[in-house]
Amino acid sequence: MHEVTHFFMALVIYDIPFSPDLAGLWHVQMNGVPTENFETRVAAIAYAVQQSKLLGVQSGLQVLVSVEGADGIWREFESNAKRPVAGLQ
């Protein structure tokens, strides 16, 4: 009899909304927990991408950056941030 072992990779998601809050700041959340605030959406996305690369390399976690579009749809990207990850929606 063979023993089957399953390994599940932990998933970390950085979320960046489309619109700023009332103070004009974009919040970056990691797994639903606020981490940092930025004056621009571009800066928030850049931070999330940088952190996702670092976290993925250092700890071997699967890390995604989830960005809300102008259409209200959230799209997940891997740390290379080139195109949405298929099959997660």
The DSSP result for 29-89, as a single string, is: EETTEEEEEESSHHHHHHHHHHHHHHHHHHH--EEEEEEE-TTS-EEEE-TT-SSBPTT--
**What's residue 3's pLDDT?**
53
**What's residue 4's pLDDT?**
47
The pLDDT tens digits along the chain (89 residues) read 545 444 556 788 999 999 999 999 999 999 999 999 999 999 999 999 999 888 876 777 788 999 999 999 999 988 765 555 554 44
**What's residue 14's pLDDT?**
94
**What's residue 36's pLDDT?**
94
Annotated domain spans of the chain: 11-77
Backbone φ and ψ of 19, nearest 5°: -105, 150
Task: Give this prediction's pTM.
Answer: 0.77
